Each structure stands twice: as structure tokens, then as C-alpha cells.
């Protein structure tokens, strides 16, 4: 237990309230919304009489490339409201409108390589959490949730954010789909956007007079320019909610959300891996309900949950001795996921929702579940309970085996927000075999974040687990971590320490390795050359991290030194980075069948070259090439993606990963190819395909999805899945030929019964 007490020192430092420092002083911009009796017609043209009543918001300034200078193209925003919704009108004037970059038309398509406009609403005015609504000249619906100011040990993004998914949650959750509308239009003077955001989609305190945090962001992609209304230093992004302006002078109704989303699903499938393959047809019904218990507390219920429309996983090549991380992609678990996020991301995630409803690569039926999230004063609350059915599988011998028992999963999360990125809380994660009271697992943790001024942030967490077969709460069932980061315009630095006991066992978490101590130090410099218009930034940096076992034996070491060159159009290349890698094996490691690396310590040097061309161009390339020592031999490899976009309708990409490994113990080559394509008929109607071949598994997978969406991601989904095996029975354990073929048709309808 002394290790747990030792780990508590990490949080003791964080808990000192005397270290709290007020937000950097400055004038906070103010905006007002005007009540209208007749709402504007949502067409993106903005010529309704109602808009003439709005107060003009025009003082936009650049965040990139020239922080604090006026936006290069005139930008104007107006805000209106009525009893039902908040309306946002945005005029993005452009003197060179023929060169506006449209981007994709698909919902939630990435914004980083297109012209875009984004609204951020901090409805609780807590300076940490917000709703995000965005669009592009193509008229897409882009929405998400910000938690912890877009940070989870760093991360998030502004109008140009990438789809971030990390474990049970991240600082920015793009997979939240609200019920709202947007329309856009274009002419020779620029492009224009008109938003309708129902109050029932938002969560806030009591009804009546409101004061919210608000900010707006505009991207002018041909200049790689990002502008904001409330100024934000360039080292941060639009999701730095504490720097938002203030929206006052309006009232929101005391209205509670109440929606029902039933679904019907028909499927036909054939599993060729069982003894007697038979085509099976099935029909099932289920649904979700969202109930506002108060204005700020929401109960989500799900029955017979299905995730047929979720994207399939992107395949990866594994050259390590640890399991790979695959992000959550199922909508129910992604909504409000930031509330339940505790740990160190992909290294030690204390709640990893992919452990629910999935076992040994198989889908486990979810019978029912509920989630309660929201705020009570300064307390953020989250409760999750899911009941999963048992899953049995009939093998090639015709015998049924238990894949997963009937299991109940629970999460209780409470934390308090204190302002300036500071928060403290705790979490309890449980897993109970409902058929065996003695089979359970518990994970306890406390965590905290302390923001000091604008640049310095401390993070820490302390956890213990309890598992009966291990013998209860024992000495080794602990883990703790602490980190500090310092971020200014010119410098980024961070250091962290993490320790995981040899018996630490978060069964509903993601823990690729245990029984180790981890150290990390990173230092990066931003160097700008204002007089060179075609060049954006130079980023020299050094990064060192190491995993030691409990006896001090180095299991993994990585020292990285390089320099990044970024150009004004977003193109980038890396001066060949130098990596010094160490791998310590205390027992032999079979990296591939029949190829065994002996125990011992291995130190190697390799060089790495990363690059991307202008990703906003119709044709672009990005990738990594590395070559050098690898354990007892050598390795050369690449992962390169070619992207193509035709206007705003069709996008495609081809990713090729290839690694050639030569060791004294044997040689092997691994390759993976993935082809993605999508065609958007409208922002809500699309056809998408993903084809993947991984020679590590010798499987060729096909996933084709047609979506005709309604509001909040509901609507019609048709999915075709096919897996073909190209290996042989003696080599892979599976016969050559098809493995699984499946056709799914699912329709979901949302009924808004709010009051």
C-alpha cells in the first residue's frame, strides 16, 4: 500500500488551492442576441428582415498566421433567438470567392482542409466545456462536444480539428450528433451560413436570463488562415473555452429534452467458419430515449442496442509485443464520453468502452442500458450502467463454447470544476458476472488537473483495482501518474511519470502493459520567420521516454531528435528524424510464427522521414518512411496515403503500409492496403466504402455503407460486410475462402416530445 500512498503525492500537489491563479486579465468581448417574433427562413441567403435587427459582430482577428491582426477577409456575425432556438447568421465575405475551398459534403467531414465557420457555446459558462457547431461552403453539419478545454493530456483542435477519438473519451468528441440545422449559400462576394440551434439540443442551467461563453472561428484555407472573434493566442485553439467572449441579454426557456428513437433492423448473414455454415435472417427492434430530468441533467436509455451503422476499424500492422489500440466508434458510448475519461489515454485508460459489447473480436448483445450525465452546481456527474447478454460460439467441431458470460458494467463519475482548467474528481468502474457473484472486477480512481496561469498545467491520477482471483485489494493492484506541461507561443515542454503495479487489473480499461515505471520528457521550439511569406514555422524538438520494470530493467527506450518544416499552405516535411530505440526482452519474443528473438537488450538507431503536401489540394500525399536497426537486425518501412477529392462530392484515399524486416532469426514482410471512398449526394445522403487487406491476417475486408440521414444521425442505413480469407488452413487455422458475409438494413426515427 506504500506505493499507493506514494502516488498520492502526485495529487497532493494538485490539491493545493493556494496555487490557483486567475485567468490572464483582459477585456472580454461581449455579444448580444435579439429576440424576434418571426424567425428567419433557413436558406443560407440571409436576406430576411429579421437579420436587419441583429447586432453586427465584426471584430475578428487572426490566430494564424499573424496573431492579433485583423482577419484578411471581412467577416460578420449576427445572433437572434425566439422561444425555440438560437439563430446564427454568418457573412464570410471574400474578394477572391472563386478560390474558396469547399471540402467534402459528408456530415462531420474534417474541417482542417477547407474554408469553414464554427460556433462554440459554453452554455454553463464554466470555461471548460462547450458545444460546437460548424459548417463549410458545401453546407455540411459539423458538431461535437468540448471537454476540459479540448485537452486530454493535450489535444483538441479549432476549426481545423481532426476527428479525435481516444479510449472512452477525448478532449473533443466529434461523434456527438445534436438535432440542429444549417444552410449555406455562395456568390461572387463570398459565402454565407445560417444556423438554427434548438435550445432543446443544448444543456444549460435554469431557464430565463442567460450568460454564456461564446466564440466564433473562420478558416480561410487558401491562406491557411484561422481567425476568431474572442482573441486566442496561437499556441491554443478555438476550444480554449476560458478565453471565449460573453453572450448576454437573452433568455432561454425552461425546456427539457425528451426524444424517442426507435429502430427496426433486418439482417441476413452467413458465417463460413462454423462446422455447418447456414445463411441466417434476423429482424430486431430496439431504441433509445433521451429524457431531461432537469435542464442540466439528462438520462439516456437504450434497449436492445445495435451499432450496425458504426464504421469498421482501420486495420493496423503490429510489430510490437503489446496489443494495439483501436478507438471507440459506437455512438452511444461516444456521447458525453469525456465525462468518463480518466487515465493516460492509450497507455492506461481506466474506462475503455470497447470492453462493453465486444469480446474476442465478436459482438456481444447489449440487452439494455442507461446513462445519466449533467451538472449540479459545480459538480459534473456521470452514471453508466449496461447489461450485456452472454455470448456462445459454435466452433468448427460443432461444439458451443462460452465467449462472454452475461455481464453488468457500471461507471460512477463525479468531479468538480474550479475554473482555469482546474478540476478534481473520482471514478468507480465495475464489472459483474451476473451468473457468478464471485466473479467481478472493480477499479477505483481519483484524478485532478490544475491550471496555473495561461501556460502551466498539472495532471495526475491515482487508481487501485480489486479482483477476487488475485486475492482482493493487494499491494500490486495500483497505478498512478503525474504530468506537467508548459505551453507558450515559442515553447512547448512536458514531463510525466507513471507507475503501474504488477497486479493492476482494470478489466473495463485498456492497459497494454503492466509492472513498469515510465518517464517522459519533451521539449519543442516554435520558430517563425515573418519576412518569409511562403514559410510558416520551424519546430526543432527532442523527446525521451522510457519504460523500466520494477527492478530497473529497461524494457523500452525511445530518444527522438528532429526538426519539422511547415510551409504557409500547410505542406510539411521532417528533416530526417533520429531515433535511438532500446528494447529489453526478459524472455524470448516470437515476433512472427517460427521467428523468435532471443532474450536480451537491444539498442538500435533509425532515421525517420515524415511529410505531407498541401492537404487542401484535390490531390495530396502524406506519409512516413523509416529505416534502421530493429532488435537483432534491420527494418525498412513506410505508411503512405494518397488522397483525392473531386469538388465537394467525392473523396477517396489509398493507404499503403509496408515493412520489410530482416533478422538473424528470420525474415518477413508485412503489408497492408486500405482504400476508402465516399460520395455525398447531399450533406445527409452518402455512399461510403472501405476495402482492406492485411497480410498479417491474410484477410480482405469489405465494408459498404449507404446512409440517408435525418436529424441527429438517425435515418436509414444499409451496410454490407464481407470478409474473405486468402490464407491456408495449415498456416492460419482458417480455410481459404469467405469467412463472413452480412447485409444489414436499419432505420431509426427520432420523435421530439420535448416540453
Q: What's the pLDDT at 473?
A: 66
Q: Are 603 and 623 within 8 A, CB to CB?
A: no
Q: What's the pLDDT at 486?
A: 96
Q: Are 429 and 508 within 8 A, CB to CB?
A: yes
What is the distance between the alpha carbons of residues 159 and 616, in angstroms, rounded to a whole number? 14
Residue 605 burial by Cβ neighbours in a 10 Å radius (0-12, 13-18, 19+): exposed
Give the mean pLDDT of 235-255. 92
What is the distance between the alpha carbons of residues 637 and 668, in angstroms, rounded to a whole number? 12
**H or E element, residue 509:** none
Q: Where would I find the beta strands (DSSP E) of 568-683?
A: 572-585, 589-592, 595-597, 600-612, 619-630, 633-646, 650-663, 666-682
Phi and psi torsions of 385, nearest 5°: -140, 125
Q: How confident is the model at residue 254 (pLDDT cuts 50, 70, 90)?
A: confident
**Could you count the other beta carbons within 10 Å of the beta carbon of residue 751?**
13
What is the distance between the alpha carbons of residues 372 and 461, in angstroms, rounded to a whole number? 23
**Strands 456-466 vs 407-419: parallel, antiparallel or unpaired:** unpaired
Is 667's pLDDT higher than 80? Answer: yes
Q: How confident is the model at residue 3 (pLDDT cuts 50, 70, 90)?
A: low
> What percentage of the chain's residues is helix, strand, coil (to nearest 5)?
10, 55, 40
- Burial code (b: 16+ CB inside 10 Å, e: under 16) for 330-358 equals bbbbbbbbbbbbbbbbebbbbbbbbbbbb
What is the distance between the alpha carbons of residues 127 and 288, in angstroms, rounded to a whole number? 31
Alpha-carbon dihedral 368, 374, 379, 385, rounded to 10 degrees: 0
DSSP label at residue 396: T
Q: Per-residue pLDDT tens for 202-236?
A: 988 888 899 999 999 999 999 999 999 999 999 99
SS3 523: strand
Q: What's the pLDDT at 396?
A: 66
What is the distance between the alpha carbons of residues 144 and 174, in angstroms, rounded to a whole number? 4
Is 471's pLDDT higher than 70? Answer: no
CATH number of 33-252: 2.60.40.1190
Work out whether the CA dihedral 389, 336, 448, 152 comes out positive or negative. positive
Q: Are 470 and 438 within 8 A, CB to CB?
A: no
Alpha-carbon dihedral 549, 554, 558, 559, rounded to 10 degrees: 120
Task: Report the share of the chain in percent with pLDDT over 70.
Answer: 92
Q: Per-residue pLDDT tens for 297-340?
A: 899 999 988 877 777 888 888 899 998 888 887 878 877 788 89
Q: How far is CA 232 from CA 228, 237, 443, in A?
A: 7, 7, 38
Phi and psi torsions of 615, nearest 5°: -75, -10
Which residue carries 438560437 as its cell? 86
Q: Are 687 and 679 within 8 A, CB to CB?
A: yes
Q: What's the pLDDT at 333?
A: 83
Residue whose C-alpha is closest to residue 123's, from 334, 422, 332, 374: 374
Give the mean pLDDT of 79-96. 96
Distance of CA 144 to the CA centre of its chain: 10
Give the mean pLDDT of 458-471. 90
Phi and psi torsions of 426, nearest 5°: -150, 165
Q: What residues have CB less than 8 Å from 718, skipping those under 6 apart?
A: 705, 706, 707, 743, 744, 745, 746
Q: What's the pLDDT at 123?
A: 94
Q: What's the pLDDT at 41?
A: 95
What is the distance between the alpha carbons of residues 555 and 577, in angstroms, rounded to a whole number? 22
pTM score over 0.85: yes
Residue 374 burial by Cβ neighbours in a 10 Å radius (0-12, 13-18, 19+): buried
Task: Report the share of the chain in percent with pLDDT over 90.
Answer: 68
Q: What residues have CB less than 8 Å from 17, skipping those under 6 apart?
A: none
DSSP label at residue 569: T
What is the distance between the alpha carbons of residues 205 and 295, in angstroms, rounded to a whole number? 6
Q: Are 247 and 504 within 8 A, CB to CB?
A: no
Which residue carries 464554466 as its cell? 126
Q: Per-residue pLDDT tens for 497-517?
A: 999 999 999 999 999 999 999
Residue whose C-alpha is closest to residue 261's, from 293, 304, 204: 304
Q: What's the pLDDT at 11?
A: 44
Residue whose C-alpha is closest to residue 675's, from 660, 653, 697: 653
Average pLDDT, the chain: 89
Q: What's the pLDDT at 392?
A: 85
Phi and psi torsions of 31, nearest 5°: -135, 155
Work out whether the CA dihedral 416, 418, 419, 421 comes out positive or negative. negative
SS3 502: coil
What is the distance between the alpha carbons of residues 103 and 100, in angstroms, rounded to a whole number? 9
Q: What's the pLDDT at 732?
A: 66
What is the distance between the alpha carbons of residues 128 and 149, in angstroms, rounded to a whole number? 5
Any bridge partners for residue 493, and if so which?
486, 523
Is 20's pLDDT higher than 60? Answer: no
What is the distance between the alpha carbons of residues 175 and 306, in angstroms, rounded to a whole number? 16
Residue whose C-alpha is closest to residue 355's, from 326, 319, 381, 394: 326
Q: Are 500 and 516 within 8 A, CB to CB?
A: yes
Which residue carries 518569409 as its cell? 532
- Among 16-25, 656-665, 693-702, name the most confident range: 656-665
**H or E element, residue 406:** none
Is 452's pLDDT higher than 60? Answer: yes
**Could you count the other beta carbons within 10 Å of the beta carbon of residue 733?**
11
Q: Are 595 and 665 within 8 A, CB to CB?
A: yes
What is the distance between the alpha carbons of residues 54 and 35, in angstroms, rounded to a whole number? 9
Q: What's the pLDDT at 152?
A: 58
Q: What residues have CB less than 8 Å from 591, skipping those under 6 apart?
A: 319, 321, 597, 631, 661, 663, 668
Give the mean pLDDT of 722-741. 81
Here the cell at position 139 is: 453546407
Q: Are 390 and 469 within 8 A, CB to CB?
A: no
Phi and psi torsions of 128, nearest 5°: -135, -30
**H or E element, residue 392:** strand 391-394
Domain ranges within the chain, ordered by starting residue? 33-252
Is 163's pLDDT higher than 80? Answer: no
Here the cell at position 629 is: 536497426
Among the ranges given (16-20, 376-380, 395-399), the one the predictor scored with the smallest mean pLDDT: 16-20
**Could you count the other beta carbons within 10 Å of the beta carbon of residue 96?**
12
**Could you count the other beta carbons within 10 Å of the beta carbon of residue 247?**
23
Longest CA span, the chain: 79
**Strands 366-376 vs 362-363: parallel, antiparallel or unpaired:** unpaired
Q: What's the pLDDT at 755?
A: 63
SS3 542: strand
Is 287's pLDDT higher than 50? Answer: yes
Give the mean pLDDT of 392-421. 86
Q: How confident is the model at residue 149 (pLDDT cuts 50, 70, 90)?
A: confident
Radius of gyration of the chain (CA): 26
What is the distance between the alpha carbons of residues 131 and 118, in angstroms, rounded to a whole number? 10
Amino acid at each position: 500500500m506504500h506505493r499507493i500512498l506514494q502516488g498520492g503525492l502526485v495529487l497532493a500537489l494538485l490539491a493545493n488551492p493556494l496555487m490557483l491563479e486567475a485567468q490572464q486579465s483582459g477585456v472580454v468581448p461581449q455579444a448580444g442576441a435579439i429576440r424576434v417574433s418571426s424567425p428567419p427562413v433557413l436558406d443560407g441567403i440571409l436576406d430576411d428582415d429579421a437579420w436587419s435587427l441583429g447586432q453586427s459582430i465584426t471584430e475578428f482577428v487572426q490566430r494564424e498566421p499573424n496573431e492579433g491582426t485583423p482577419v484578411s477577409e471581412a467577416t460578420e456575425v449576427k445572433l437572434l433567438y425566439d422561444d425555440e432556438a438560437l439563430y446564427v447568421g454568418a457573412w464570410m465575405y471574400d474578394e477572391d470567392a472563386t478560390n474558396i475551398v469547399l471540402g467534402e459534403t459528408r456530415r462531420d467531414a474534417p474541417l482542417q482542409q477547407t474554408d469553414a465557420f464554427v460556433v462554440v457555446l459554453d452554455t454553463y459558462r464554466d470555461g471548460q466545456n462547450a458545444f460546437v457547431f460548424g459548417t463549410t461552403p458545401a453546407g455540411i453539419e459539423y458538431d461535437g462536444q468540448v471537454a476540459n478545454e479540448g485537452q486530454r493530456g493535450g489535444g483538441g483542435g479549432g476549426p481545423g480539428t481532426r476527428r479525435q477519438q481516444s479510449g472512452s473519451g477525448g478532449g473533443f468528441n466529434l461523434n456527438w450528433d445534436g438535432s440542429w440545422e444549417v444552410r449555406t449559400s455562395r456568390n461572387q462576394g463570398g459565402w454565407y451560413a445560417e444556423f438554427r440551434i434548438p435550445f432543446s439540443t443544448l444543456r444549460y442551467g435554469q431557464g430565463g436570463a442567460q450568460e454564456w461563453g461564446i466564440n466564433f472561428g473562420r478558416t480561410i484555407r487558401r491562406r491557411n488562415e484561422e481567425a476568431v472573434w474572442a482573441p486566442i493566442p496561437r499556441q491554443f485553439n478555438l476550444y480554449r473555452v476560458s478565453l471565449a467572449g460573453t453572450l448576454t441579454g437573452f433568455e432561454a426557456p425552461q425546456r427539457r429534452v425528451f426524444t424517442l428513437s426507435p429502430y427496426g433492423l433486418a439482417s441476413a448473414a452467413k458465417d463460413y467458419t462454423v462446422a455447418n455454415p447456414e445463411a441466417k435472417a434476423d429482424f430486431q427492434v430496439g431504441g433509445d430515449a433521451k429524457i431531461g430530468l432537469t435542464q442540466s441533467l439528462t438520462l439516456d436509455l437504450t434497449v436492445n442496442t445495435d451499432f450496425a451503422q458504426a464504421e469498421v476499424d482501420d486495420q493496423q500492422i503490429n510489430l510490437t509485443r503489446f496489443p494495439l489500440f483501436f478507438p471507440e466508434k459506437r455512438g452511444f458510448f461516444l456521447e458525453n464520453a469525456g465525462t468518463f475519461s480518466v487515465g493516460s489515454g492509450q497507455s492506461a485508460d481506466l474506462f475503455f468502452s470497447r470492453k462493453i459489447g465486444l469480446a474476442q473480436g465478436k459482438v456481444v448483445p447489449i440487452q439494455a442500458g442507461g446513462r445519466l450525465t449533467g451538472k449540479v452546481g459545480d459538480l459534473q456527474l456521470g452514471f453508466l450502467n449496461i447489461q450485456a447478454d452472454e455470448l456462445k460460439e459454435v466452433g468448427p467441431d460443432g461444439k458451443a463454447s462460452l465467449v462472454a458470460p452475461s455481464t453488468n458494467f457500471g461507471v460512477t463519475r463525479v468531479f468538480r470544476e474550479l475554473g482555469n482548467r482546474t478540476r478534481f474528481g473520482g471514478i468507480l468502474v465495475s464489472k459483474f458476472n451476473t451468473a457468478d457473484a464471485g466473479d467481478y472486477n472493480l477499479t477505483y480512481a481519483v484524478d485532478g488537473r490544475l491550471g496555473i496561469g495561461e501556460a502551466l498545467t498539472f495532471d495526475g491520477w491515482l487508481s487501485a483495482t480489486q479482483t477476487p482471483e488475485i486475492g482482493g485489494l493487494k499491494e500490486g493492484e495500483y497505478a498512478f501518474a503525474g504530468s506537467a506541461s508548459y505551453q507558450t507561443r515559442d515553447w512547448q515542454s512536458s514531463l510525466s511519470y507513471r507507475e503501474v503495479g504488477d497486479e493492476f487489473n482494470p478489466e473495463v480499461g485498456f492497459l497494454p502493459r503492466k509492472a513498469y515505471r515510465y518517464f517522459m520528457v519533451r521539449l519543442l521550439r516554435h520558430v517563425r520567420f515573418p519576412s518569409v511569406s511562403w514559410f510558416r514555422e520551424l519546430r526543432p524538438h527532442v523527446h525521451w521516454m522510457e519504460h523500466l520494470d520494477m527492478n530497473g530493467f529497461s524494457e523500452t527506450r525511445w530518444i527522438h531528435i528532429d526538426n519539422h518544416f511547415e510551409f504557409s499552405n500547410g505542406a510539411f516535411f521532417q528533416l530526417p528524424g533520429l531515433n535511438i530505440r532500446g528494447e529489453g526482452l526478459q524472455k524470448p519474443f516470437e515476433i512472427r510464427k517460427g521467428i523468435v528473438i532471443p532474450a536480451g537488450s537491444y539498442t538500435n538507431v533509425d532515421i525517420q522521414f515524415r511529410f505531407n503536401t498541401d492537404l487542401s489540394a484535390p490531390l495530396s500525399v502524406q506519409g512516413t518512411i523509416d529505416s534502421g536497426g530493429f532488435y537483432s537486425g534491420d527494418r525498412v518501412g513506410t505508411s503512405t496515403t494518397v488522397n483525392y477529392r473531386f469538388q465537394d462530392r467525392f473523396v477517396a484515399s489509398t493507404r499503403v503500409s509496408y515493412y520489410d524486416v530482416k533478422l538473424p532469426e528470420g525474415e518477413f514482410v508485412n503489408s497492408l492496403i486500405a482504400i476508402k471512398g465516399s460520395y455525398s449526394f447531399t450533406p445527409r445522403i452518402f455512399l461510403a466504402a472501405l476495402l482492406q487487406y492485411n497480410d498479417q491476417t491474410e484477410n480482405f475486408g469489405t465494408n459498404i455503407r449507404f446512409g440517408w440521414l435525418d436529424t441527429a444521425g438517425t435515418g436509414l442505413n444499409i451496410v454490407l460486410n464481407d470478409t474473405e480469407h486468402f490464407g491456408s488452413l495449415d498456416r492460419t487455422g482458417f480455410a481459404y475462402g469467405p469467412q463472413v458475409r452480412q447485409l444489414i438494413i436499419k432505420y431509426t426515427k427520432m420523435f421530439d416530445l420535448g416540453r
